Amino acid sequence: MAGESGRKVGVAMDFSASSKKALQWAADNLLRQGDTLVLLHVQHHGRNEAKNALWSHTGSPLIPLEELMETAVRQRYDIPSDGEVFDMLNAVSREKGLSVVLKMYWGDPREKVCEAVGELNLESLVMGSRGLGQIQRILLGSVTNYVLSNASCPVTVVKAK
């Protein structure tokens, strides 16, 4: 069965162009048969906070790809219905015999991604970079820079361009 003896590889997924590019890079260069691909999706606080209070500290249960394909499940967790991402996930799952799951978190993406790496015992993490300029990174902060400095596993950053 996929995932039993393979690695756990995370991809930070916010459904942006840069996170889709990171997913494609992981599929092309990192993932191999028997691995478990864990998509990490973080919602900011304030969106359906009461609805998600049960999992606000631990994140959602792991949601398998088969369930993610159901519209009702995506609506329950406020997951975008992005056909491009789900096509990629289905293709890589079939081609490489992967187990694919999604884990939702609510809060600060920088902190939640780092927490997820430890909690899920990820062996590596792939994430996109929005390509902010130096001034924007200073003013806005950078999720990528924070995760690179604080994650407890190797992190691969896939640049937007």
Per cent of the chain over pLDDT 90 is 59
CATH assignment of the domain containing 23: 3.40.50.620
Could you report the per-residue pLDDT of 113-140, keeping only the tens digit for each? 999 999 999 999 999 886 655 655 554 4
Per cent of the chain over pLDDT 70 is 81
Does 120 map to a domain? Answer: yes
| Domain encompassing residue 57 | 8-159
Mapping DSSP to helix (H, G, I), strand (E, B) and coil, where does residue 83 land?
helix
Could you report the per-residue pLDDT of 73-88, keeping only the tens digit for each? 998 888 888 999 999 9
* 155: enclosing H helix or E strand: strand 155-159
Does 3 map to a domain? Answer: no
Report pTM: 0.86
Q: Residue 23 half-sphere exposure, CB side, CA atoms within 13 Å?
A: 26
- Distance in angstroms (rounded) separating the CA atoms of residues 98 and 90: 10
Q: What is the mean pLDDT of residues 26-48?
A: 87
Could you report the per-residue pLDDT of 15-24, keeping only the tens digit for each? 989 899 999 9
Does 2 map to a domain? Answer: no
pLDDT recorded at residue 58: 80
Does 1 map to a domain? Answer: no
Tally of domains within the chain: 1
Mapping DSSP to helix (H, G, I), strand (E, B) and coil, where does residue 15 land?
coil
Query: How many of the other CB atoms lie within 10 Å of CB of 62?
Result: 14
Could you report the per-residue pLDDT of 90-113, keeping only the tens digit for each? 999 999 999 999 999 988 888 999
pLDDT recorded at residue 139: 47
44: which DSSP letter?
Answer: P
